[in-house]
Amino acid sequence: MTHHHETTEPRLLPDDLPPVALPDEEVERQRKLTVKQVVIWGAIALLGGVAWAMIAFARDESINGIWFVFAAVCSYLIAYRFYATYIEKALVKPDDRRATPAEYSYNGHDYAPTDRRILFGHHFAAIAGAGPLVGPVLAAQMGYLPGTIWIIVGVIIAGAVQDYLVLFVSMRRGGRSLGQMAKDELGPIGGAAALLATLSIMLMIIAILALVVVNALGESPWGVFSVGMTIPIALFMGVYLRYLRPGRVMEVSVIGCVLLLGAIIGGGYVSRTGWGEAWFHLDKPTVAWCLIIYGFIAAVLPVWLLLAPRDYLSTFMKVGVIVMLALAIVVVQPTITVPAISEFAHRSDGPVFTGSLFPFLFVTIACGALSGFHAMIASGTTPKMVEKERQTRLIGYGGMLMESFVAIMALVAAVSIDRGIYFSMNSAAGATQGTVEGAVAYVNSLGLTGVHVDAATLTETAKNVGEHSIVSRTGGAPTLAVGLAHIMHQVFGGTAMMSFWYHFAIMFEALFILTSVDAGTRVARFMLQDALGNFHPRFRDPSWHLGAWLTTAAMVAGWGSILIMGVTDPLGGINTLFPLFGIANQLLAALALSICLVIFARKGARKTLLIILVPLVFTAIVTVYGSYLKIFSSNPKIGYFANHKVYADAIKAGKTSLGAAKNPDQMAAVSFNTMVQGCLSVLFVVCTLIVLAFAIARTIQAVQAGGTASSEDPALPAQLYAPAGLGASAAEKELERQWDEFYASHPDAHLVRTGH
């Protein structure tokens, strides 16, 4: 977004202001380790090392799921304390004496200093969409080891670094969007390519997120009822917070959680009644149309009515469920019998997604390790709400570590269920015929060691989780729900509770994802308004409702058409579209990292540019090579155009069915869809390569010149204080006490309360 907001003059405050930042010596002192801390960190490193050794070298028949939790948590703690601190000190260099946009552009709507703990929750809720739930589940077909290594190592060196840097550079530029920063740093051509790439990729991402919801709710009356109920619950919470009991966040959250549980339990009763079955048993295209209508309405309603209360609800649900699942894994200690590296790691014809381990594992896991979608959020709402510059490490780097932990939990849940059930659920309906018998025949024909599935197991599992069938429930969400139910029912309630836990998980995932669909549609609308504003300035006026409705309709039509294409795809929309989603998402990450590279090169960074260059080069290689295979591969299972040609030739030859397509209409659909997917692949990769070329040229110029003029907003003095981490140190508590006293004696000096 360009600067619609005017920078307000610094507020005139009394001369006796307490300090607005800790002294530099104190910050430096807090970074040094005491003897006690050395011992504690040594113990954490030791536990992490043991856990990694167990995961990497255990070649027995089975491995205990508890090691995954330990390896992840220890790695994250060490990365946050040491690597993130190094990045902060050597590259980012935040300065708490500078005011953030939340302070100097304060308007109480978009720009408002927000408590770091609330903002952490808000940011986490916005970034954690379907990706960390779905990607690892699909990647489990390669075995547990490659996925685990990439999710944990990838987030530390790539994903969290990108989120942190984008959040910081956007905050230093008044909360500008990624597209706008690209235009500022790369000039008009690079900027236009970046804008086209970000807009088209956003639509692709939202469509896939919506497709996951459709696959989880289609033919499931219980799911449709429970998820549908979250909308009136969120509306009620919005009205409650705004008019009935303003400011009572905890109170309304408790009411919301109780109502949510009621909606899940109620769904079980409703789905057993005749009218419930008649009203809520919807096929996938119907669910898709409901979502499209919902997406439009949610994006034009005021934020406080649906989006904000929905965010609170889903943040509590998200963090709560992940912590609960982690504790359950520690208690149950599920045995994992999946091989560390499976048969499909060396082949390219996997039933869940096609393609070899490199590059397709990396693009399939997507958001759990690195996600371009986060760069849109980190340059969207979050930078306009940060109180102090040093908090960006907690929110950017820390928020992404939390998301990666979600991905590890999803992976453990997916590999803890029987492999026969896993492949029955994730193979496309074309392969399994969508029937239990078909699934049994197909999965047993794969010839996997130790995998033998029978009809009784599949029917029994479906009955336990309260669904008609679990065959070909693709998209990762149902598999994760079965895995979660499988672990949770051993702690709470036994087999009788499995159906509750399954629908609890489906609702949890749908909430996760709908938040991203809402927020994503909004971000896409702002981007389009911004772009159209270059031609017709009125589009940039936030109070012009017609403009907002037109741009929202255009964006919803964009992702809606991809969604309908995926829902009606005979090859199974997820199986063909998810690799494209992964590639698009990672291309967006490469684009975001390349803009950060230019910005820090201009600030005069040299050796520290490697912090950005290493993940950038790796991501660029993976995604460009992945795109190359999707466009040029002659194997129809991998290449979109090769697949298009197979179906187009068959239609010309007058065949009436081919592979998964059972009639001429379906064959035409596959032929059309693969053409569209191939063209989108070309568009995404060409735009990204243009941006990368401009970014490399600008970076080399800046390095040769020894740094150039900065595009940051001018520094203004801060006039408020807040601690940097989740908890406050002794020195920070002392400063907070001084500020409390100051506000007590100068009540009109408080920015948020007086609305200056």
Residues 362-414 pLDDT 10s: 999 988 899 999 999 899 889 999 999 999 999 999 999 999 998 999 999 99
Query: CA distances (Å), 379 to each of 52, 84, 195, 527, in order?
Result: 34, 19, 14, 11
Mean pLDDT of 8-28: 80
Terminal Cα distance for the chain, rounded: 23
Contact between 399 and 120 under an 8 Å Cβ cutoff? The reply is yes
Pick left, alpha or beta for residue 306 (phi over 0 → left; psi -120 to 50 → alpha; otherwise beta).
Answer: alpha
How much is the pLDDT for 505? 87
Residues 68-86 pLDDT 10s: 999 999 999 999 999 999 9
Please give the structure tokens belonging to residue 120.
């952490």
Beta bridge partners of 98: 717
- Nearest C-alpha neighbor of 504 from the set 628, 687, 328, 713: 328
3-class DSSP assignment, residue 662:
coil
Please give the structure tokens belonging to residue 113.
């200093």
How much is the pLDDT for 11? 61
How much is the pLDDT for 646? 94
The alpha carbon of residue 442 and the mean position of all alpha carbons in its chain are separated, in whole angstroms, by: 33
DSSP for 498-510, please give it. Answer: HHHHHHHHHHHHH
What confidence category does residue 14 fall into, taking pLDDT thresholds of 50, 70 and 90?
low
Contact between 413 and 325 under an 8 Å Cβ cutoff? The reply is yes
Contact between 517 and 291 under an 8 Å Cβ cutoff? The reply is yes
Contact between 482 and 461 under an 8 Å Cβ cutoff? The reply is yes
Please give the structure tokens belonging to residue 693.
């070329």
Residues 87-118 pLDDT 10s: 999 999 999 999 999 999 888 777 888 888 88
Residues 253-302 pLDDT 10s: 788 889 988 988 898 889 888 898 889 999 999 999 999 999 999 888 87
Angle at 541 between CA 540 and CA 546, to 5 degrees: 100
Please give the structure tokens belonging to residue 472.
């070909």
Gap between the Cα atoms of 120 and 125, Å rounded: 8
Q: Does the structure show a pLDDT above 60 at 6?
A: no
How much is the pLDDT for 92? 96
Nearby residues of 7 by Cβ (< 8 Å), 6 or more positions away: 104, 105, 174, 713, 716
Query: CA distances (Å), 448 to each of 138, 364, 550, in order?
Result: 17, 22, 52
* Amino acid occupying residue 248: R
What confidence category does residue 154 fall into, taking pLDDT thresholds of 50, 70 and 90?
very high
3-class DSSP assignment, residue 9:
coil
pTM: 0.91
Phi, psi of 15 (to 5 degrees): -75, -20
Task: Please report where in the chains the tokens 């960390």 appear, as a residue.
Answer: 132
The alpha carbon of residue 516 and the mean position of all alpha carbons in its chain are separated, in whole angstroms, by: 8
